[in-house]
Homo-oligomer: A and B are copies of this chain.
């Protein structure tokens, strides 16, 4: 049985608490927490008359815009190697449905990969991430894990990488990517590179596996994170250039046409507009990035002050602290710790086990993006503030967190 996605579940649980009048600190959900730029809203409004189904892969304009988006990022792309869908999640599901073989995942990784693999009838082979960054398996362990998995009867066929990473908020660098891709190449794995956070790197840019393993890497991305349009459900994929790409495209379109038909037509117009990246869109993303960086760094400082170990945030709006120092307080599992934070302090975070991590580890994912405000007004103010940490609601949230993390006698 496929469980309700953990990230969506914590969101609904916290909303219920808030609706019941409880004071909550929502660090559990990867929603980008920013308002819709007026120009994007206008495009959607003007596209309201678009009620035809349209091509399964996406309208010609939207696909051309996706191709331009990737081409400007060092990944030359033709429009016929592009698919749009209602969310990159749907494309990831379709990819796992049609690509042969079992799935290799970094551990921890985003909650839905393993669930989708199960839905597609695949085994999961998980490999721990290296200390440097998440989203990729430790290359040396990967080699061994593949051999062991084969010996145990699995048939590894697909490797999912997350660059930049959720849950750790880190970015695997070129060296790591090249090492991992070399192993994937030797073992004939198709790489799915989930680059939904690629525009939100705090410093520098993403080195895509598609640069290294061009003929066998599918890149997925969308507008949910960079442009904070999660509720619009706009995702897209860039297929590889190799000889198998035409067949893969045909098969993906097959699944798409039987499961969701197409990205809603008005959303195709939004995609075409936003992915052409006019100035207003670029500025909005740039402002959002600054806010993510500032707040994630501030929350990181709170965790360090509380004795946690945690990689410094490098992208997006996530941290993955380890409160091993709290084990002496009676916490045996990450889940016990996160339930304590939720029930005692109204602080919602997701235990590492939700991401496939060791249940006994006192690690959890912290999403910092819902601190920007609970109203559109607060979010605009945070986005335009020179010093977002001085926004009253953000300062209060940091205090709330500090209190929750401050040791007290029972």
Binding site for B on A (CB under 8 A): 1-5, 8-9, 11-12, 29, 31, 34-36, 40-42, 44-45, 48-56, 86-87, 89-90, 93, 97-98, 112, 115-116, 119, 121, 228-233, 250-251, 253-255, 257-267, 376
Contacts and interface: CB of A to CB of B under 8 A. Distances in A.
A8 B253 CA distance: 10
Contacts of A250: 1, 4
A351 to B, nearest CB: 18
A264 B230 CA distance: 8
Contacts of A267: 264
A125 to B, nearest CB: 19
A258 B89 contact: yes
A375 to B, nearest CB: 11
Given A264-B264, A267-B264, A259 B93 contact: yes
Contact of A233 (B34, B35, B264): B264
A265 B232 contact: yes
Which 6 pairs from chain A and chain B are nearest by CB?
Answer: A231-B265, A45-B45, A41-B48, A2-B254, A5-B257, A51-B231
Contacts of A231: 50-54, 262, 264-266
A89 B119 contact: no
Contact of A51 (B4, B230, B264): B230
Contact of A8 (B53, B90, B121): B53
A121 B119 contact: no
Contacts of A90: 259-260
A263 B48 CA distance: 16
A255 B2 CA distance: 6
A3 B254 contact: yes
Nearest to A33: B52
B119 A264 contact: no
A61 to B, nearest CB: 14
Given A12-B55, A93-B259, A233-B264, 18 more contacts: A1-B251, A1-B254, A4-B56, A5-B261, A8-B53, A12-B56, A40-B48, A41-B45, A44-B45, A44-B266, A49-B376, A50-B231, A112-B257, A116-B259, A230-B261, A231-B266, A259-B259, A266-B266
Nearest to A50: B231
Contacts of A31: 52-53
Q: Which interface residue of A2, A11, A12, A42 has the most chain B CB atoms within 10 A? A: A2
Nearest to A119: B258
Q: Which interface residue of A34, A93, A231 has the most chain B CB atoms within 10 A? A: A231
Nearest to A56: B8
Contacts of A87: 260-261
Contacts of A3: 254
Nearest to A93: B259
Contacts of A262: 231, 233
Q: Which interface residue of A56, A90, A265, A266 has the most chain B CB atoms within 10 A? A: A266
A101 to B, nearest CB: 16
Contacts of A232: 51, 264-266
A257 B4 contact: yes
A255 B1 CA distance: 9
Contacts of A52: 31, 230-231
Given A2-B251, A89-B261, A258-B116, A229 B51 contact: yes
Given A48-B40, A52-B230, A55-B12, A260 B86 contact: yes
A124 to B, nearest CB: 14
Contacts of A2: 98, 251, 254-255, 257-258
